[in-house]
Amino acid sequence: MQSVKQYLYIFIFTFVLNVLWEHAHSLLYVHYKGGAITELILFRAALFDAAVITLVAFIFLSVLKVKYGLLAMVVTLVVFAAGLELWALETSRWAYTSAMPLVPLVSTGLTPTIQLGILGYISITLATHVTSTKKIH
């Protein structure tokens, strides 16, 4: 998975999926920095998420080339997302509505905690399918 084209596809797929995800779960948030959650905020969040997923994919699949790199990447993304949620909640960057399901023990929202891992996996799978016939382990 070392081609620039593959990472461009990963970024594009991830960005599109994150835009959809951000819109779908934005109803589970009360505010962003004390204000309304706007289209611009959702766009920026999707852009940030796409950049993080693409960077982590590059690190695990092209730089480190670890065995089970895709699995390691997904786990890393979920841990990163949980840490980001904990920081954002602690600093009042955003708050959840009572409808947000929480992950036991860490008390982060379920949808934002799994978002990067799931969308990263889907995006890499799609990008790999589009750009090659090789499978990732």
Tokens of 134: 């090789």
Q: Is the pLDDT of residue 118 over 80?
A: yes
**pLDDT category, 1, cuts 50, 70, 90?**
very low
13 touches 123 (CB < 8 A): yes
pLDDT at 67: 83
User: pLDDT for 34-56, tens place per residue?
Assistant: 888 999 999 999 999 999 999 99
pLDDT of amino acid 61: 86
**Strands of the chain, DSSP E:** 29-32, 94-96
Put simply, whether the predicted model's pTM sits higher than 0.85 gets the answer yes
37 to 20, 76, 89: CA distances (angstroms): 15, 27, 15
Residue spans per domain, the chain: 4-131
Please write the tens of the pLDDT for every residue from 47-92: 999 999 999 999 998 888 888 889 999 999 999 999 999 999 999 9
